[in-house]
Every structure is written in C-alpha cells, then in structure tokens.
C-alpha cells in the first residue's frame, strides 16, 4: 500500500548538444514536463514524452498539463493505493491521452518501488543489471557526414546504429553506411514518412541487411503495414501505431511487422508496456525500448523497463551526455561498450537535481489533496 499526498509539476527547456533532424523537421531543444508524486516522505518522478505540437502522436504538453491539473491528479491525490495498477484503474474511465496518464502511472511505480525499497526493474519482472543500447542518428548534411557520424558512434561501442530517413534521403545514406561498415547492426526509422506508393523505394532497402525498417507508414495504420510487409524481406518494426497491448496483438496477427518498439510513455505506462512485451513474446517477436530524447528521469524509467527478458534488441537509451550539458538528475547515465548499467537503489535509482530544475523551470506548480 502507498499513499499519494501531494504532487509537483515542472516544465523545463533543455538545449540539445546537437541538431537532430527527422522526417518531422529539425529539433535543437527539448521541452520536458516532469511530475513528482509524494507520499510517506518519499517521491516518485516521471517524465512526459508528449511534445509542444502533435507531430509524433496526437498529444501535446499543453493538453497534458490541463488533464493533469484538472482531471487526473484530482483522482489520485489524497488516496491510498494497493499498487500502481490501482492507480491505472482510477484513471481507467478516460479514453486516450496515454502519454499524460503515463506520467501519473510511472511516477506511481517509482514511488511504490521506493516505499518497498526495491528497484523498479525488479518489480516489473526484470533481472538484468545492464542493458544493450544503440544510438539514433538524425539526418545529416550528406553521405560523408553520415558515415563519419556513424564511425564515431561505432567507435564508442554502440550495438545498433539507427538512421533517420525520409523520402529522398533513404537508400543513399544506407548504402554509404553499409559500404563503410559491412557488419554493424543497422536499422532505419521513417517516422511515418512513406506510403504504399513508395514500395519500390523501400524494397530497395532489402539489399542492405537491415535488422528492421521502423514505422515507414502512417502513425495510426496497421493494415497498410501488413501489405507492405508482404512486399518486403526486411522486417518492419511498429512504433507509433502501437499504443496498447491490443494494438500489438492486432499488428502481429495481421503480419504488419515482426518487431515492436515499446515506449513506456506512448502506451500509457509500465503496466501496459509489460503487457505489450508479453504479447510480443507470445508471437515470438523481439522488442526493444524506444526513446523520445528523454532527460535522465525518462531515461532511467526506460532502462528499468528494458530489463524484462523480451527486450532482446538494443534500445535507444544511449548515454545522457550525448544530449545534455546538464541533466535533470544527479546521476550520470552512461553506456560503456554498448551496455547501460541499470541504476542501483530503490525505484528508478536516480534523484532529481532540484536546484538545477528549479533554476531553469518555465513552470512550477504544486498540488495537494
């Protein structure tokens, strides 16, 4: 049992150390919403993965803040819960808005794990003390720059290289990288930039021994992905189009892909992420943990989720120092030779750098029962 007595909301803006280009556009900073749930002298912290504009999926930071203030937090503040699943039940009558709900659920998992004095990963059913990680590389200026960026990250030991692609920038960088690195584990991510009319272009990627092609078609589509998969030899990986375990079941049953990217925020929290993991295992489909340029809070949650046994492909949880001059946590989350240690200690094992967060916060609010 644990009690949620109060909550804090922060919104901070963190400049990225590099220019990150995808099919959505160019990103140079990340706006990070943080939720802290308090109870019994302890705190559980979660990070929202929604964005200012509805580019990746339909949720936005402004909408999430409204729901947290006026709808979700009033349902949980001042209440005692048996476990985080009961927190989910308290929010279960509301449709959609999984990223906003995930903030409450993930903070509850962290708080509950801290009250029990055990690591979050252990509560979820994980057993690993380190997880394999890869790196996600944005669109570069040209092929030479792409190869050089890949070279730097291969030298750092990352166990999978993912290239962002879009129409007009797909076969060229993949060919250049594969010619330079014949044996690396290589994938591409389209972020829904293609249609079935681009089948010939996507089929050309079959020549480059990719582990998978991630989310080439529409963010809310499974049927066309199934048709595309029938036309390709390379497995498709479902990302944006899987928002629940039911979506994963339908997509795998349809043959819409053979790999699933699990993002805990996208699917509504750890409980649903674990259900997606279990569905994928039932179909024999490997899963891996995707990233949304998270700060250390979201990154730590991702690492603990990745300790579950079905996460057999390297995830996006690369070293935090790639992204930020100063992170929102005190601990350094750094990979070595493509392995990320699981933070030790209760809950996520990381602690919020309150001095830094308070200093740079664009919004800070407190709520009590």
Instruction: Extract the tokens encoding 209.
Output: 């021994």
- The size of the chain, in residues, is 369
What's the confidence (pLDDT) of residue 21?
A: 82
Which pLDDT score is estimated for 263?
98
270-283 vs 296-305: helix crossing angle, rounded to 10? 40
| Residue 256 to residue 111: CA distance in whole angstroms | 37
- Give the per-residue pLDDT at 257: 97
Using CA atoms, how far residue 231 sits from 128, 199, 213, 225, in Å, is 37, 8, 13, 10
| φ/ψ (deg, to 5) at 125 | 105, 10
* pTM > 0.95: yes or no: yes
**Cα 258 vs. chain centroid, distance in angstroms?**
19
Tell me the mean pLDDT in the region 300-317. Answer: 97
Q: What whole-number percentage of the chain has pLDDT above 90?
A: 96
- List pLDDT tens digits, range 175-215: 999 999 999 999 999 999 999 999 999 999 999 999 999 99
If you average pLDDT over residues 77-89, what whole number do you get? 96
Q: What pLDDT was estimated at residue 23?
A: 85
Cα 271 to Cα 42, 89, 237, 250, 267: the distances in Å are 21, 11, 21, 19, 9
Task: Please give the average per-residue pLDDT across 102-129, as a whole number.
Answer: 97
> Average model confidence (pLDDT) for the chain?
96
Angle at 340 between CA 335 and CA 345, to 5 degrees: 125
Active site residue 164: yes
Q: What percent of the chain has pLDDT over 70?
A: 100
Q: Is the Cα torsion angle 295, 350, 65, 214 positive or negative in sign?
A: positive
Q: CB of 8 within 8 A of CB of 365? A: yes
d(CA 110, CA 136): 27
| pLDDT tens digit sequence for 123-179 | 999 999 999 999 999 999 999 999 999 999 999 999 999 999 999 999 999 999 999
Flag whether pLDDT at 19 surpasses 90: no
| Residue 20 pLDDT > 90 | no
Q: What is the 3-state secondary structure (H, E, C) of 73-130?
A: HHHHCCEEECCHHHHHHHCCCCCCCHHHHHHHHHHHHHHHHHHHCCEHHHHHCCCCCE
- Mean per-residue pLDDT, 325-335: 97
CA-based nearest residue to 334, from 348, 320, 347: 320
DSSP 316: S
* Phi, psi angle pair for 31, to nearest 5°: -95, 120
Structure tokens at 120: 């979050």
Angle at 263 between CA 357 and CA 225, to 5 degrees: 145
Cα–Cα distance measured from residue 275 to residue 241, given in angstroms and rounded to the nearest whole number: 16
Cα–Cα distance measured from residue 307 to residue 340, given in angstroms and rounded to the nearest whole number = 11
pLDDT tens readout for residues 224-269: 999 999 999 999 999 999 999 999 999 999 999 999 999 999 999 9
Residue 273 has pLDDT above 90, yes or no: yes
pLDDT band at 26 (very low <50, low <70, confident <90, very high): confident
Q: Is the pLDDT of residue 369 over 90?
A: no
User: Whole-angstrom Cα distance, residue 203 to residue 331?
Assistant: 43
pLDDT in tens, 38-63: 999 999 999 999 999 999 999 999 99
Q: Which of 30, 38, 128, 263 is catalytic?
A: 263
pLDDT band at 331 (very low <50, low <70, confident <90, very high): very high
Each residue of 210-225: pLDDT tens digit?
999 999 999 999 999 9
Which residue out of 162, 164, 166, 250 is catalytically annotated? 164
């Amino acid at each position: 049992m644990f009690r949620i007595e109060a909550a804090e909301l922060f919104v901070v803006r963190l400049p990225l150390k590099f220019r990150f280009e995808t099919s959505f556009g160019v990103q140079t900073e990340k706006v990070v919403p943080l939720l802290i749930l308090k109870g019994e002298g302890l705190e559980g912290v979660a990070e929202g993965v929604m964005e200012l504009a509805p580019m990746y999926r339909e949720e936005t930071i402004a909408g999430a803040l409204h729901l947290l203030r006026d709808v979700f937090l009033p349902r949980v503040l001042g209440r005692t819960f048996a476990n985080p699943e009961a927190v989910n039940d308290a929010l279960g009558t509301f449709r959609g808005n999984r990223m906003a709900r995930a903030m409450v659920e993930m903070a509850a998992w962290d708080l509950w794990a801290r009250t029990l004095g055990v690591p979050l990963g252990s509560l979820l059913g994980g057993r690993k003390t380190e997880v394999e990680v890869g790196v996600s590389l944005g669109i570069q200026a040209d092929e030479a720059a792409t190869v050089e960026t890949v070279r730097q990250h291969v030298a750092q030991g990352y166990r999978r290289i993912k290239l962002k692609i879009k129409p007009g920038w797909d076969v060229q960088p993949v060919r250049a990288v594969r010619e330079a690195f014949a044996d690396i584990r290589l994938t591409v991510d389209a972020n829904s930039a293609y249609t079935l009319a681009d089948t010939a272009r996507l089929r050309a990627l079959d020549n480059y021994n990719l582990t998978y092609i991630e989310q080439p078609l529409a963010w809310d589509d499974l049927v066309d992905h199934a048709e595309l998969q029938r036309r390709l030899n390379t497995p498709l990986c479902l990302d944006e189009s899987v928002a629940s375990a039911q979506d994963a079941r339908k997509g795998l049953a349809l043959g819409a892909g053979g790999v699933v990217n699990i993002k805990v925020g996208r699917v509504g929290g750890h409980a649903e992420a674990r259900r997606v993991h279990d569905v994928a295992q039932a179909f024999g489909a490997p899963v891996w943990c995707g990233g949304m340029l998270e700060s250390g809070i979201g990154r730590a949650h991702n690492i603990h989720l990745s300790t579950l046994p079905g996460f057999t492909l390297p995830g996006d949880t690369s070293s935090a120092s790639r992204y930020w001059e100063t992170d929102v946590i005190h601990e350094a989350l750094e990979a070595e030779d493509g392995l990320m240690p699981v933070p030790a200690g209760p809950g996520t094992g990381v602690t919020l750098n309150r001095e830094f967060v308070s200093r740079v916060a664009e919004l800070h609010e407190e709520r009590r029962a």
